[in-house]
Amino acid sequence: QVQVVESGGGLVQPGGSLRLSCAASGFTIVLYTMNWYRQGPGKERELVAALDGFGDRTSYVDSVKGRFTISRDTARNTVYLQMNSLKPEDTAVYYCNARRGGGIWGQGTQVTVSS
pLDDT digit string, tens, across residues 69-93: 999 999 999 999 999 999 999 999 9
pLDDT of residue 69: 98
Q: How confident is the model at residue 56 (pLDDT cuts 50, 70, 90)?
A: confident
- Average of per-residue pLDDT across 29-53: 96
CA dihedral (37, 112, 63, 102) in degrees, to 10, reads: 0
Res 55 pLDDT > 90: no
CA–CA gap between residue 70 and residue 89 (Å, rounded): 19
Q: How confident is the model at residue 1 (pLDDT cuts 50, 70, 90)?
A: confident
Res 111 pLDDT > 80: yes
- Kind of pairing between the strands at 18-25 and 3-7: antiparallel
Taking a C-beta distance cutoff of 8 angstroms, is the pair 85, 77 a contact? no
pLDDT of residue 101: 84
